[in-house]
Structure 1
């Protein structure tokens, strides 16, 4: 982690340190699971005493924003996961109506996020997106489905960050918690269909290009088209899978006869 913390001027209490770390979490700079620098280093970056820093960390831990793990180290707590509890996530994943509603929700909210990102992305944002796309392209070229799927989640999350709307950012992150659990399952189903893998990669490139070139309408249209494609491909994969299941059963029955 680079030096993302700012020097605090003449503070004798922990309040400013608490507020700075809270802001970094709220703005998405610090993410779930990110490790904070060690006490000595963090105190140096903030330019405060270690006792004041300890007070700040205790206050943040009491609020559930950071946690100390066994074996050492202080980490940003899993605050996003509290929006969808594991039992609710399992219910959503196992019910077709909920999955359809999930994709419908993503269609709308990702369209808005991409539109905002095209308007608001900074040079650093565009560099971040370009790096993610490079990694996705490399994984795509070598056929590394797991890495490509991970970059898929990272890309959509980064688009949410580029929208520069705190509420949108955290809403999307809770949504992508479901995506990170379900995307491999969905891709396993739809990748059996001809041309799907290439189409999905091209769709991500289209979203990226519209954001990088500052085209809000184009970015929104590309994001919506991507979710529509995934939804239709998933439905087709389910139909095809059901046909195969029935065909196998017929063959097995007739062979037995």
Structure 2
């Protein structure tokens, strides 16, 4: 991890270290699972003594913001995962209306995020978005659906970061967590539709271009149009999948009927032959 921590300018107390790490977590600079530098390096960046640093890290761990792994260092705790409790996540995964409501909510909130991103993205934000977009283009060329879907989520996360609104950022991250945790098992169905991967890539390009151009209205429209497309494509993919399931069952049933008829015909022929043998003088 590069030097993202600043020296403490005032009394160099544990509270000031705590406040700086809290702000980095809240602003989304430090993400769940990120590992903090070692104690010596971290104390050097803050320019505080190691006892002060230990007190700060202990306070953050007691508040559930950091976690220490034996032999594995200090990491940012999984604070985002706690937005949706496990029972709620299980309910969402088993009710179709929840999936529809999820996309409806995402359409509105991502429209706002893209609009804010177009207004507020810094040159560094845009550089990060450029890199993610380039990786998405590369993944698209590879034909790896799972990798493409993972970068899709990363792209939307980055747009949320560009919006520079703390509440929006963490709300979006909690939404995307449902995807990364596999709550919506059918999310890859869209990628199987003819032409869908090309359409999705074009939509991400449109969002990216509008944010880079600083066009809030276009960015909002592009983001909302994207989710509307996903809604329709998901419905189509599910219908197509259901049609395929029914067609497969029909084929299996017809094949079974034909096999039964064939065997019945063989049995009748055999019986007739045996009967004919009995009556032959």
TM range (shorter): over 0.9
Task: Identify if the C-alpha distance between structure 1 residues 181 and 72 changes in structure 2 by more than 3 Å, giving closer, same or farther.
Answer: closer
How far is 1:92 from its partner? 1.1
Partner in structure 2 of residue 252 of structure 1: 252
Q: CA RMSD in A?
A: 1.3
**Over 4 Å off, 4+ runs:** none
d(CA) in 1 for partners of 2:181 and 2:76? 20
d(CA) in 1 for partners of 2:192 and 2:164? 37
d(CA) in 2 for partners of 1:110 and 1:129? 15
How far is 1:12 from its partner? 4.2
Task: Identify if the C-alpha distance between structure 1 residues 72 and 187 changes in structure 2 by more than 3 Å, giving closer, same or farther.
Answer: closer
d(CA) in 2 for partners of 1:186 and 1:228? 17
Contact 1:39 1:50 in 2 (8 A): yes
The answer to whether 1:188 aligns with 2:209 is no
The total of aligned residue pairs comes to 257
d(CA) in 1 for partners of 2:188 and 2:9? 53
d(CA) in 2 for partners of 1:10 and 1:166? 26
SS of structure 2 residue aligned to 1:219: helix
Partner in structure 2 of residue 232 of structure 1: 232
d(CA) in 2 for partners of 1:231 and 1:183? 16
How far is 1:185 from its partner? 3.8
Per mean C-alpha deviation after superposition, the further-off stretch among 177-186 and 210-219 is 177-186
How far is 1:244 from its partner? 1.2
How far is 1:90 from its partner? 2.3
Contact 1:121 1:211 in 2 (8 A): yes
Q: What per-residue deviation string (whole Å, max 9, x for no partner) do you get for residues 28-78 of structure 1?
A: 000000000000000000000000000000000011000001323000000
Q: What per-residue deviation string (whole Å, max 9, x for no partner) do you get for residues 213-242 of structure 1?
A: 101000000000100011100000111111
Partner in structure 2 of residue 215 of structure 1: 215
Unaligned runs of 5+ in 1: none
How far is 1:142 from its partner? 1.6
Partner in structure 2 of residue 158 of structure 1: 158
Contact 1:149 1:184 in 2 (8 A): no
d(CA) in 2 for partners of 1:187 and 1:92? 14
Q: What are the within-5 Å matches in structure 2 for residues 121-140 of structure 1?
A: 121-140=121-140
Unaligned runs of 5+ in 2: 258-281
d(CA) in 2 for partners of 1:133 and 1:20? 31
Q: What per-residue deviation string (whole Å, max 9, x for no partner) do you get for residues 122-168 of structure 1?
A: 00000010000011111111212222112111110010010000010
Partner in structure 1 of residue 273 of structure 2: none
Task: Identify if the C-alpha distance between structure 1 residues 188 and 62 changes in structure 2 by more than 3 Å, giving closer, same or farther.
Answer: same
Contact 2:111 2:223 in 1 (8 A): yes
Q: TM-score, normalised by structure 2?
A: 0.88
The answer to whether 1:47 aligns with 2:47 is yes
d(CA) in 1 for partners of 2:188 and 2:81? 24
SS of structure 1 residue aligned to 2:67: strand
SS of structure 1 residue aligned to 2:192: coil
How far is 1:183 from its partner? 8.8
Q: What are the within-5 Å matches in structure 2 for residues 1-257 of structure 1?
A: 1-182=1-182, 185-257=185-257
Q: What per-residue deviation string (whole Å, max 9, x for no partner) do you get for residues 175-218 of structure 1?
A: 11012234984443122211001111111111000000101000
Q: TM-score, normalised by structure 1?
A: 0.97
